Amino acid sequence: MNNVKEEVGGNERSRNFLEEIIEESIAKGETRVQTRFPPEPNGYLHIGHAKSICLNFGLAKKYGGKCNLRFDDTNPVKEDVEYVDSIKEDVHWLGFDWAGEYYASDYFDQLYEWAIELIKKGKAYVDDQSQEEIRLTRGTVTVPGKESPWRNRSVEENLDLFQRMKAGEFGDGEKVLRAKIDMAHPNMLLRDPIMYRILHTEHHRTGNKWCIYPMYDYAHGESDSIEKITHSICTLEFDVHRPLYDWFIRELNIFPSHQYEFARLNLTYTIMSKRKLLQLVQNKIVMGWDDPRMPTICGLRRKGYTPESVRAFAEKVGVAKRDNVIDLGLLEFCVREDLNKTAQRRMAVVNPLKVVVTNYPEGKTELFESINNPEDESAGTRMVPFSRELYIERDDFMEEPPKKYYRLSPGKEVRLRYSYLIKCEEVIKDAAGNIIELRCTYDPESGHGSSSDGRKVKGVIHWVSAAHAVEAELRMLDNLFIKENPDDVEEGKTFLDYLNPDSLVIKRGFIEPSLLDSNVGDRFQFERVGYFCVDPDSQPGKLVFNRTVGLKDSWAKMNK
């Protein structure tokens, strides 16, 4: 975590290793920078993808290059247009525009032609073994693999069989096309890797045109090469794939794209695998891909995150060459920092306690001018109504307060934000002894920060006028998992055993009436409570808010 700490405090960060590589090649006269973001459309994008997006688009922008959006749609079984659409929406929302929108499936014809070229060169063959047999005969790191009995088929026979694979003469799994490299290669991935498999499955773009589909390792580098990608950036686990990436490009003698690897983003209390996120959606553990507790980009958006805060986070995380885990607190720090500058302040009471101001006239209403954002003068002010009955936060009253408790308690005074001083005269309880109401008096001279005799009162609490308040659903969101690393499961358990039962606590609170004008997606700071965002589940007059993040910044304190 040390590297992160340094970058948060500093203004100018040093160049990351990818920037160094690019600047070195620029110095040698290779000035073109072409990157791509290559999602597989088999799920919604998450914060890890956001890191990759900011990196790929960011590098292209910084060096006057271009970044493509390429859908890596080579596995028709799991892919869908729903995902394609959501990915485009999320990349745009993050603030990026792609130079070209491409699909690996657009290259199926070219990939097929190239496969034929490799067969003709004696570099690829059709294998009749099942994928399971192939796996079992691959050997181990110390034991060489076993050559397939079909490895030495003639070029003619291979061409014929491959063409018939394409024509649909064989069933799923009956044959594969393999690259002919070296069954004893120390890198297991080069032991005659599979290039094509038979899948009689409709593809969301190519329909039923194809029943053979290229594998990732064959399709990816070749797609990069077709688009003349100069810097193909991927996550660390692909470093063992790089020799294969280079092998195909070399054998085909096509544009030499290069692959570079960086450490994937991991976050505490978060899972990032699309497969596991899909499980949460399918098992209805969350409301959907955009559940505000999900680490998806649409989930973060719904929760109230801004694109600026996500980009700032990606920048602060930096680009590492070794795997690490980032504190979720850093992401929260970034959104808090942004919303502090941009979100208008409002008053809302989450756990209401009724206050009756006994010496305030019944039926009277006054309006108090309240500042919308002390960090941004241009946000102006609004008028907040005050009347005889109010709601305050239950936590802001204590019958027997400890020392240095500056909020309300019997016989004590407190300032109502932007309004009067009130003093607690009487505590009303129900038969069970629960406090149900406070009787207070107010100092009529004390509006706007003054008091009748110049006395000072330390505590300031938020409030809403009961007669004007609007009830609202406040979704108090917390981490979805209770375990710091939910992927690290104990024996006999799954990541689902670490769900936080209190990740969503629904409160019925009261909000000030000006909030009735707000729209879905609007973000506010509820004074002293936290940042909140209007949820799409809101109905006219029945607002629903998600708590984006609390006000307390434990991350910044810890990392000072």
In this structure, what token pair is assigned to residue 315? Answer: 């920048």
- Interaction partner, residue 152 (ligand ATP, Mg ion, none; CB < 5-8 Å by kind): none
Q: How does DSSP assign 350-392, residue by residue?
A: SSEEEEEETTSPTT--EEEEEES-TT-GGG-EEEEEE-SEEEE
Rounded Cα distance, 480 and 502, in Å: 8
Burial of 298 (0-12, 13-18, 19+ CB in 10 A): buried
Cβ 54 to ligand ATP, closest distance in Å?
10
Question: Taking the CB of residue 384, how many other CB atoms lie within 10 A of it?
Answer: 23
Interface stretch with ligand ATP, choices 14-22, 47-55, 100-108, 525-533 (CB under 6 A): 47-55
Q: Which of 7, 40, 89, 147 is catalytic?
A: 40
Q: In what order do the strands lie in the sheet with 176-179?
A: 124-127, 176-179, 194-198, 212-214
Q: Shortest Cβ distance from residue 237 to Mg ion (Å)?
A: 10
For residues 153 and 274, which CB has a smaller minimum distance to Mg ion in the complex?
274
Per the annotation, the verdict on 123 as an active-site residue is: no
Active site residue 264: yes
The Cα–Cα gap between 518 and 549 comes to 19
Tell me the per-residue interface mask from 228 to 247 with ligand ATP, x by CB under 6 A, - otherwise. Answer: ------xx------------
CB atoms within 10 A of CB 88: 16
Q: Is 523 helix (H, G, I), strand (E, B) or coil?
A: strand
Whole-number Å distance between alpha carbons of 293 and 503: 8
- Minimum CB separation of residue 55 from ligand ATP in Å reads 8
User: Which stretch, 46-54, 189-197, 354-362, 387-395, contacts ligand ATP (CB under 6 A)?
Assistant: 46-54
Binding mask 22-41 for Mg ion (x = CB under 5 A): ------------------x-
Pick out residues in 264-283 that bind ligand ATP (CB under 6 A). Answer: 264-265, 272-274
Cα 213 from Cα 196, distance rounded (Å): 5
As measured in angstroms, the least distance from the Cβ of 38 to Mg ion is 8
Kindly state the smallest distance separating residue 256's Cβ from Mg ion, in Å.
23
Provide the b/e sequence for 235-268 (b: ≥16 CB within 10 Å). eeebeebbebbebbbebbebeebbbbbbbbbebb
| 381 interface partner picked from ligand ATP, Mg ion, none, CB below 5 to 8 A per type | none
**Residue 274: active-site member:** yes
Q: Which among 264, 311, 407, 483 is annotated as catalytic?
A: 264
Query: Cβ closer to ligand ATP: 323 or 377?
Result: 323
Pick what 58 binds: ligand ATP, Mg ion, none; C-beta below 5 to 8 Å, kind-dependent.
none
From the list 455, 475, 474, 456, the residue with the least C-alpha distance to 464 is 474
Size of residue set near Mg ion by CB under 5 A: 1
Q: Choose from Mg ion, ligand ATP, none: what does 201 bind? Cβ within 5-8 Å by kind.
A: none
Question: Which are the catalytic amino acids?
Answer: 40, 264, 274
Q: Which residues bind Mg ion (CB under 5 A)?
A: 40
Q: Which residues bind ligand ATP (CB under 6 A)?
A: 38-40, 48-49, 51-52, 72, 234-235, 264-265, 272-274
